A and B are shown apart, each in its own frame.
Chain A
Amino acid sequence: EEQLVESGGGLVQPGGSLRLSCAASGFTLSNFGLSWVRQAPGKGLEWVAAISGSGGSTYFAAAVKGRFTISRDNSKNTVYMQLNSLRADDTAIYYCAKARPATGKAFDIWGQGTMVTVSS
Chain B
Amino acid sequence: QAALTQPPSASGSPGQSVTISCTGTSSDVGGYKYVSWYQQHPGRAPKLMIYEVGVRPSGVPDRFSGSKSDNTASLTVSGLQAEDEADYYCASYAGNNNYVMFGGGTKLTVL
Contacts and interface: CB of A to CB of B under 8 A. Distances in A.
A105 B46 contact: no
Contacts of B84: none
Interface in B62-103: 87, 89, 91, 93, 96, 98-103
A44 B103 contact: yes
Contacts of A112: 45
A112 B32 CA distance: 29
A61 B36 CA distance: 18
Contacts of A107: 36, 38, 46, 48
Contacts of A11: none
Interface string A89-118: 000000101001001011110111100000
How many of chain A's residues touch chain B, expressed as a range? 20 to 34
Contact of B45 (A46, A61, A95, A106): A95
A35 B45 CA distance: 14
A47 B45 contact: no
Nearest to B99: A59
Given A105-B36, A113-B45, 4 more contacts: A47-B99, A105-B32, A108-B57, A110-B45
9 tightest A-B CB contacts, nearest first: A106-B51, A105-B34, A106-B36, A110-B45, A44-B105, A47-B100, A105-B93, A59-B99, A45-B102
